[in-house]
Amino acid sequence: MNTVANVEDSGYLHDPEVQLMLRAKKGDDDAFSKLVVAYQDRLTTIFFHMTQNQEAAEDLVQEVFMRIYRARHGYQPNAKFSTWLFRIANNLAINAHHSKVRRKEIALPTGESSSQNSIHPDDRLLAEKSAMTPTRQLDKRELQAVVQQAMDQLNERQRLTVLLHRFEGMSYQEISDAMELSVPAVKSLLSRARDTLRQALEPYMQMGK
Amino acid sequence: MEKSVRLSAEQRDDLVAYLDGELPDEQARTIDQIIARSEVARHEVEALARTFELLDVLPTIRASDDFATRTLTSLKVMEAPFVLTDQWWFRYLVRTATICCWIVALGGSAWLGFEITRDWIPDRNEEILRDLPIIENLNKYRDAGDIEFLRQLKFSGVFEEPQEK
């Protein structure tokens, strides 16, 4: 009874996506497909910048939706839908990262660092070429490669925090809810991440202007 | 102006939060003052802001055109109830079971047919066994000649044991 009352009192019921999810919970598959369409590109973008691979990114996005779909019968609107979705995405990204690290430990016991391996070879070449001549005008693709390489220097949590902030425009509070961290922890992660990026991108600062 | 003032780790964290508009008013005013006083802080803020601007070059990625369809189909498959006849192996199971049934049916028919028809064909050995007592005494029967003669001998009392006195 209390739970029902709490749900009814919840401010999140005004969230249209929560409404869609509640409809999906009752078996409305059209509502669920609307959520898939609404979030597919947003999640693909986040996972792409985590994995550097479109196919892997889409597999992870699909897994997020599968987890949500499986959990729909027990869904309670205790947060914004996007917070819940990105919490699942965060867990999945961490698990995927751990699996990737384990696979690399088996495949490449004395190989290069993971950040270097995760970059597409063409982009790495572009980034290396650009690093030799940082003062010349870089084209957009080169600049993207440089920024991506800088992003790859961040650890998984820092990168996800930056991506959620940059692409989703999420506040520190929303990121902390999604990543199950405290707000000061998010603040610290973003600060460290921005500092690392600043050091990596300093030679290219003028290009972004 | 304090040009060479070094920022603490906490102040650096605050600078980033300040740029993101995440600092409470009071702390934001403090940062305003630090920036106004310190060229180092000002430079730091500008560098951090430009860094974040550079992230704008990262592309937004579109999912494949058939992504939603693929995903929703996968969900349907995942949720579909288990239908025995829809399983890929069911066809093979039915075929194997049919073959087994035919083998059992043919074997059973063969056995039944054998049981039914084996009495129709006389068994030579059984005939010999049945006639064995006659065969064993065949020489005696030949010596006797015919049955009428034996019957007369029996009535005449030849075969009776003499009574002991």
Q: Can you spell out the DSSP letters for A28-47?
A: -HHHHHHHHHHHHHHHHHHH
| pLDDT tens figures, B9-54 | 788 888 889 999 998 999 899 889 888 888 888 888 898 898 888 8
| Residue whose tokens read 């699909």 | A62
**A39 or B135, higher pLDDT:** A39
**Separation in Å, CA of A64 to nearest CA in chain B:** 10
Q: What is the pLDDT of residue B43?
A: 87
Q: What is the pLDDT of residue A116?
A: 39
| pLDDT tens figures, A5-24 | 455 556 778 889 999 999 99
Q: What is the pLDDT of residue A10?
A: 63
Kindly determine whether residue A69 and residue B79, on different chains, have CB atoms separated by under 8 Å: yes
A144 touches chain B (CB under 8 A): yes
Q: What is the pLDDT of residue B120?
A: 79
| Residue whose tokens read 């309670």 | A76
For residue B70, the chain A residues in CB contact (below 8 A) are 62
Kindly determine whether residue A36 and residue B72, on different chains, have CB atoms separated by under 8 Å: yes
| pLDDT tens figures, B68-91 | 999 999 888 887 667 777 777 888
| DSSP code, position A114 | H
Q: Write down the pTM of the prediction.
A: 0.65
- Quick one: pLDDT band at residue A68, thresholds 50, 70, 90? very high
**Separation in Å, CA of A73 to nearest CA in chain B:** 12
| pLDDT tens figures, A86-132 | 999 999 988 877 776 666 665 554 444 444 334 455 555 555 555 55
* Cβ-based neighbours of A183, under 8 Å, separated by 6 or more: A172, A173, A176
Q: What is the pLDDT of residue B147?
A: 81
User: Other CB atoms closer than 10 Å to residue A114's CB: what's the count?
Assistant: 15
